Chain A
Amino acid sequence: MANKHVNAIVVGAGAGGGVVAKELAVNGLSVVLFERGRWQTYDEHDNDELISQRTTVLGNAFGPDNERHWRLLMDAHGNEHIVLPNEWGYNNNAACVGGGTLSYGAMAWRFMPQDFKMRSTYGSVEGSTLEDWPISYQELEPSYEKAEWEIGVAGDDSQNPFAPPRHKPHPMPPFPYNKEAKMMQDAAKRLGWHPFPIPMLRNSVRYRGRPACIRMRTCVGFACPVNAKCGTQNTVIPEALKTNNCILRTECTVSMVLVDDRGHATGVEYFDEHNRRQTQTADIVVLAASATETPRLLLNSKSRLFPNGAGNNSDLVGRNLQGHAYTGAFGLFEEEVYDDIGPGACVAICDFNHGNPGLKGGGLLANEFIRLPYLFTGIRPPASKRWGTEHKEFQKKYFKRHAQAVGPIQEMPVFDARVQVDDTVKDFWGMPVAKLSGHRHPYDLELTDFLSRKAETWMKECGAVKTWRHQPGLGLSGGQHQAGTCRMGDDPQTSVTNKYGQVWEIDNLFIADASLHVTNGGFNPALTILALGYWVGDYIVREWRGTKFKS
């Protein structure tokens, strides 16, 4: 039996998609929200370090599975090989209801005004497609606020002199510091920096019917046992379903957007939970499938007017893939600095996001989430022996006597860092898989060099007896903070969508995830993706001229 026609299809029940589905549903549009994963609970993987979203050696806790979802990765020498979702290089994001927001670390950063104006603030960078966003911080500010209050954020900007202006404070008070963060706060103040509590999409007090955080050691990479972590799966998605205007179809994998000969999207084709090919038609299609899967969907949606994929007649879809070059420093201490109060990360500085002499951009620094025992086996000063007595002594002595200052630098977008599709390699359902290729911009390493030195200074001021820095290489970026592959802009020649996420070439096709990011900030991107969900959703609702939902 054919599916009933609806007003809107939203593909992907993660940060962006969850918000858009709710915004449309509460405003009376009929919505089908597609999710290739399923509802997940804490009980399935509880505190299992080896199957989390952080350490995936035995599998991804929250998807996707290894049996159906491979990708192709092209290495620096041009060799292609297949990568599985739990392997390095896949650039995985969780596939489940809530997407990454079920198991993320939940930092709730607003980008700074300069982050939307990188090109005009710093000028061009050779070899980079650095550009301004078509929207300013001021324009997005109400959407940030809505995300903070509807999803829930604990924080206090008053201690951060670099915080962007806001109309309303955070809805919940900030989290108190753990032992490590207290030490790092004191040291940062001695250095003349400005430490403050990290804003978190996590309940510090009871909020909107869900309890306060119980400070688990296992938080980032895990689902929350008491539902204190705020994601779309426990906020906007249930709200959307409550309206009776929204149907959530889990374990349904959308394979292409259907585009007619007049250049309009008519719906999507998908494979249901029994792997049967199905069609769902709609007046509007919104893609929020991640910065890898959204461009893959567009590229796989070939039609008469769009032989190279939907909205891709300018060959821009899938380009400018970026993420975050994480960098920082470790410190070893004589005294214990660990008090087992999770999730660990709670103090940050924004002193080095912008205004660094001679540099273009920068990034935040914070203390790191708790390094669990297996992950800690990989944390050693350079040239250390990684096994035997030396391993065990180090593990015993320093598990509770080490700290890490770490942060993401704002990467310079590279045109040839990209997502493509490859006709020769198909997924379980026969659709061409995503092919990832390219590399970071060399400038990123100048910034990581700079920021890691600041991190090392911080560790030393804390009294570390030994410190060492860490920086990534020039390999392809992306990861869980993947972004930029369908950038928004004012010029159809250089962007995939307009400032509202509306695909230039197909006016009833929208994008509402990090694919839209022109640049990716020196911050974790989750709150910005949620805010863009509100921004795009609000525009669709305002412009909607269709019929209201009739059941």
Chain B
Amino acid sequence: MPSSRRQFLKQAASGFAGTVLLGACAATPKSRWRFFTREEASLVDLITEQIIPTDDTPGGIEAGCLNFIDKQLVGAYRRHQNEYRQGLLGLQNSSRGKFGKTFQELDWPEQTDVLDAIEAGDVEAADWSGVSPQRFFQLIRDHTMQGFYGSPRHGGNKNYLSYRMLELDVPHIIGQNRYTQGLDKPNGWIN
């Protein structure tokens, strides 16, 4: 895949360059995350919470969706690194453009507004480069869902909290139903 690899490297390089220009590597403390800077991580945490909010059951933050995405971005989703880097910049630009504040400073309905606009592509084109707003939204929404509902081994769904929310047995109890619930036996059933 020579052409796509080259393109990827080019994009990745420009992504890293962008980070440097914004000073993320200058004087900020070292990030505890594998891929995200501290700034990016706080942003992703809030986005995942918007995508799956806390109500009477936990939401995206408590499930560890940020940890899932961060872990996959240095693993199976390495190819999406640049889209995240650029997308989070775009999101922050859109937030400032719309409300004059960073996404972290917005209240809940304002954050929802920003995400609605990004999902619809209803943003200033100049604020976004390297990834389309719709594409970025779809990525982070899908990845948040995967982190929330996937196996905890991938870094999210802490203690299977989404399975508890759905009232599915945790751990998966198998075999029990064969003799605890009186199943109808169709024709031909021996024993």
Contact = CB atoms under 8 A, between A and B. Distances in A.
A399 interface: yes
A215 interface: yes
A386 B166 CA distance: 17
Nearest to B157: A373
The interface centre, meaning the residue of B4, B57, B59, B76 with most chain A CB atoms within 10 A of its CB, is B76
Given A156-B188, A176-B186, A215 B166 contact: no
A549 interface: no
Q: Which 5 residue pairs spanning A and B have beta carbons closest together?
A: A373-B149, A176-B183, A156-B188, A374-B149, A214-B175
B190 A341 contact: no
Given A158-B188, A176-B189, A388-B52, 5 more contacts: A59-B76, A214-B175, A217-B174, A341-B177, A392-B57
B96 interface: no
25 contacts: A47-B151, A48-B153, A57-B76, A70-B1, A156-B188, A158-B187, A159-B186, A169-B188, A176-B183, A176-B189, A214-B178, A215-B174, A215-B178, A216-B174, A217-B168, A340-B169, A341-B181, A341-B183, A376-B149, A386-B141, A387-B50, A387-B141, A388-B50, A389-B53, A400-B167
Contact of B174 (A159, A214, A372): A214
Contacts of B1: 70, 82, 425
A124 B17 CA distance: 61
A160 B112 CA distance: 53
B27 interface: no
B146 interface: yes
Contacts of A158: 187-188
A50 B186 contact: no
A47 B163 CA distance: 13
Contact of B53 (A58, A217, A388): A388
Interface string A419-439: 000000100000000000000
Contacts of B191: 205
A50 B185 CA distance: 34
Nearest to A66: B76
B145 interface: yes
Interface residues of B, number: 45
Contacts, number: 119
Contacts of A177: 183-184, 186
A387 B51 contact: yes
A392 B115 CA distance: 17
B3 to A, nearest CB: 9
A173 interface: yes
B189 A47 contact: no
Contacts of A49: 149-151
B187 A159 contact: yes
Nearest to B171: A47
A85 interface: no
Contacts of B181: 339, 341
Contact of B112 (A59, A216, A225, A388): A388
Contacts of B53: 388-389, 392
Contacts of A48: 150-151, 153-154
Given A373-B149, A374-B146, A396-B166, A173 B190 contact: yes
The interface centre, meaning the residue of B53, B174, B190 with most chain A CB atoms within 10 A of its CB, is B174
B109 to A, nearest CB: 11
Nearest to A50: B150
A231 interface: no
B4 A58 contact: no
Nearest to A372: B149
A392 B167 CA distance: 14
B165 interface: yes
A249 to B, nearest CB: 28
B107 interface: no
Contacts of A174: 186-189
A215 B177 contact: yes
B52 A82 contact: no
A400 B166 contact: yes
B162 interface: yes
